[in-house]
């Protein structure tokens, strides 16, 4: 049962336009969400995050929006650049359980291609 | 800055070999994780550890084991490598309350 879903395996946009990557989740216990970016043959790198107490977080060209009632978040990249071409993973975290660790639950990723 | 180091970027091993993948972090993090990444399947958790000598199975532990004898080092062991374990293996560490830092990954090919 997938708790974090990225329903679009791929997305292609023109340089300078907006890229919107979507992510849905099913577990209402999730309270922290992150986006990671991954280039081929490299490990994922942290991009941006948002706590469930917020509905928007912005960092330069990257903005994450959270709609808790819809259990949906999205990553907006404006303007898109060819160097943004990568796989983007959405991840979610639930609060610590007694004696446990904060496992991140990942979506399957969306491959973004930004065309020059 | 935070650093997670995986000992090998590329490995080629034969079917049936015992394979060790090493991961070291320099941040005194409690939590460490091993994932594998396959096209169309995303990142799947194999094992994780929240303290020295403590380990828990993830979603796909079959065919793998782990070792955490020191806080900074988390090893993934393929007891008898098989071709369906050909994959990109990613180690990560995490301080509670923050996100992961990933290593560069190990691309393992089992022939």
Strands B19-21 and B64-70: unpaired
CB B105 within 8 Å of CB B92: no
Taking the C-alpha atoms of residue A76 and residue A88, their distance in angstroms, rounded to an integer, is: 12
A100 contacts in chain B (CB < 8 Å): 50, 56
pLDDT, tens digit (0-9, with 9 covering 90-100), for A1-58: 778 999 999 999 999 999 999 999 998 888 889 999 999 889 999 999 999 999 999 9
Confidence of residue A96 (pLDDT cuts 50, 70, 90): low
Residue B44: is its pLDDT beyond 80? Answer: yes
Taking the C-alpha atoms of residue A105 and residue A90, their distance in angstroms, rounded to an integer, is: 8
Q: Which of B5, B42, B101 to mutate to test the interface with A (most CBs of A within 10 A)?
A: B42
pLDDT, tens digit (0-9, with 9 covering 90-100), for B55-102: 999 999 999 999 999 999 999 999 999 999 999 999 999 866 668 899
Decide if B48 and A96 are in contact by the 8 Å CB cutoff: no
What DSSP string describes A13-74? EETTS-EEEEEEE--TT--EEEEEEE-TTS--EEEEEEETT-SEEEETTEEEEEETTTTEEE
pLDDT of residue B51: 87
Q: Which chain B residue has the Cα nearest residue A41?
A: B105
Percent of chain A with pLDDT over 70: 93
CA proximity to B49, closest of B92, B105, B106:
B92
């Amino acid at each position: 049962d997938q708790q974090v879903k990225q329903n679009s395996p791929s997305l292609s946009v023109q340089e300078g336009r907006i890229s919107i990557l979507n992510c849905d989740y099913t577990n209402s216990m999730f309270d922290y969400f992150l986006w990671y970016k991954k280039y081929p043959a490299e490990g994922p790198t942290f991009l941006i995050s948002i706590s469930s107490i917020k509905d928007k977080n912005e960092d330069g060209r990257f903005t994450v929006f959270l709609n808790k009632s819809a259990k949906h978040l999205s990553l907006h990249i404006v303007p898109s650049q060819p160097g943004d071409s990568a796989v983007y993973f959405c991840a979610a975290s639930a609060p610590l359980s007694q004696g446990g660790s904060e496992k991140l639950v990942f979506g399957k990723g969306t491959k973004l291609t930004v065309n020059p | 800055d935070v650093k997670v180091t995986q000992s090998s970027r590329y490995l080629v091993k034969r079917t049936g070999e015992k394979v060790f993948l090493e991961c070291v972090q320099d941040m005194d993090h409690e939590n460490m994780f091993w994932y594998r990444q396959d096209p169309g399947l995303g990142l799947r958790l194999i094992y994780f550890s929240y303290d020295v000598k403590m380990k828990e199975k993830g979603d796909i532990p079959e065919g793998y084991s782990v070792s955490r004898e020191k806080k900074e080092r988390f090893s993934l062991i393929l007891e008898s490598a098989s071709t369906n374990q050909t994959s990109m293996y990613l180690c990560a560490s995490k301080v509670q309350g923050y996100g992961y830092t990933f290593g560069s990954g190990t691309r393992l090919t089992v022939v």
